[in-house]
Structure 1
Amino acid sequence: MSTIHWIEVRTRSARWHSESGLPLPRRVVVADDRMRAADAHRLACEGTALLWRGDFHNARQLLRAMDRRVGRAAPGAADSPAETFHLQRRFRAHRARVLGKLLVLLEEDHSLALRRAPDVRRACDEAYGVSEGPVAVALTELLGVLGARQWRERGVYVPALEARIHPHYGVFAPTRGEYVDLVARAPLPGTGVRCAFDLGTGTGVLAAVLARRGVGRVVATDVSARARACARENVRRLGLAGSVRVTGPALYPEGRAGLVVCNPPWIPARPASDLDLGVYDAGGGMLDGFLSGLAGRLERGGEGWLVLSDLAERLGLRSREELLTAVEGAGLRVVGRVDTRPGHARVRDTDDPLHAVRAAEVTSLWRLAVG
């Protein structure tokens, strides 16, 4: 386990943990309410981490001041949407590294021994599991853990279910409802579906939609243990435990199904950490796995539903021809497609350097059959 060291009367140490894959700080100094934002920003840019020992609310104010100095978007312009995407992604990684240098120390019981600090123990227990002693984390990560706890408690209302889905920390939340609505309204193959697979289930929202549509048995898979635990909890909350079984980590479960649904990450780029797995699919690996395995897992007359945004195509990261060639190469054909336009907030954000691309985005449910 990685360990950080700092001097506070004497030399001290603690385990280092970063869910987002931030590197181990090599130099750590103690900081408190006397630390100026300009100095904090300079030290962080130089690679020095600041272990906060002052007031919790002052730490948040310092973090916001550092953020203003970093900026919100990469300077300069790119010649293409793909270059803009990569430029913005590199800038976000830089911003995360700088802001991630402001650290806090979680005690053995995951408490935070700072003035005016909230009780973070339950949120940290849910995110990190059983404590193994004091651990240092970035303040940005702790704030994300606290935000995730609120999402988990409050839930996300899903109109297609007329109920709330409760995402866990590190599991992609169904805040973009258009892909859920596609699965809720696309015509089921044949005269009905006895068994369906939901690959990469996440919170379990699509598995729940299929069960509510009358599919007698749904097998939901996910590579992430966190996602599987989240999906099982949501299935129980919705009273669907008798219809939905959650398993993994393999992409496909055993057997065949009349319907196989897959909503893979839409961007074929390398994730920075496991927290990015809901957005980035390195090399299109999950998409390729779904397509290559589909023909051997469908019942006669069954369909595979691929729910996919064309954002990667508009960014120049994958072409429509490449997608259709992969479909044909897997022994599949397109029997239908249902399109929708996203309505999330980023579509309306004109300050986003990729606004034009996002405003034109289309999300599709591709209906695929063997042959």
Structure 2
Amino acid sequence: MKSILVLAQSYPSPENIYNLAFVHSRNLEYQKKNVKVTVLNFSAKTNYVYEGINVVSPDSVLELSQYDSVVSHAPNIRNHILFLFKNLTKIRKIIFVFHGHEVLEVGKYYPKPYKWEKSTENSFFRWFYDKIKLKILNKILNSDKVSIIYVSEWMRSEANKCLKASYSSKEIIVHNPINYSFYERKYKYKETENYSDFITIRPLNGSKYAVDLVVALAKANPSLSFDIYGRGDYFLHNDLPENVRHIDKFIPQNSIPDLLDNYKAVVMPTRLDAQGVMMCEMASYGIPTIVSDLPVCHEMLDGFSNVYFIKNNDFLNKKINILDLIPLSEFEQVDRFNPEELALKELSFILS
């Protein structure tokens, strides 16, 4: 049996089932393919088993030579890179999976915070840290033992710009898969008076999640109604329009499809994403989906007849005719996010 060690800064547990859940979903697929998975969770205090996956703490003694490959998700210097440098001679193969900020110059990409969000981070320190981070990454990426998985072509292109290097001979693009709950069912609208026309599921803190653009779209379309699910402080600092309801709760992933069936369309803008997994899940489910007109959104969702792209600057005055929003009817496009096929593609690369 093949065996891999997965490095993650955090991981789901019975106490918090949402920590890096996208890493866990991958691992479950690997185990279905008869690959033994052990997770080194840098935030864990004790060892535990979660849904059949062995999770160990940093205090554990690991025989690294037993693993065919070590897979590092969103590697940081403090934990992942230090661990890998210390044990490089004992490790057969390393796969970095780059998801976003860990391989970008953050100041060049991340949008300015909302005015009421005070940043405790020193901009010079952030710039300096990123320079050191990228220099160290380049050093280890030059090792013959290291290969790279990017979640999108956009991520690969921007990472190469920040690294000022290309590793095309040992990299591959594999999208994050969608959850099975979106893949195995299809959207079916059920009209009810208890729900609005549109739904958004977003954290309310962080300008990259663009809740302000949802509010702007609502103001531009006063005859339509909008429900925003998520926690955060946005509406402590901004008025709630009459046609918007804020539902202050977190929705478990496997409950989202049932919830979507109550709405005519979703609104999921963004200012920055390496992929936008939930956006992909909603579009794949078949509900009409409004997203930002950004390159990464086109990379993920071009070809989906139920997806509508709006430039972020146009949310302020975009008039929506809800009759123009048509559910997905041909589902061939959804296979680009097929959990089983993507797991096989990843495993082939990881174990090659």
TM-score norm. by structure 1 comes to: 0.28
TM-score (norm 2): 0.29
Structure (1 or 2) with the greater strand fraction: 1
Query: Which of these two proteins has the greater Rg computed from alpha carbons?
Result: 1
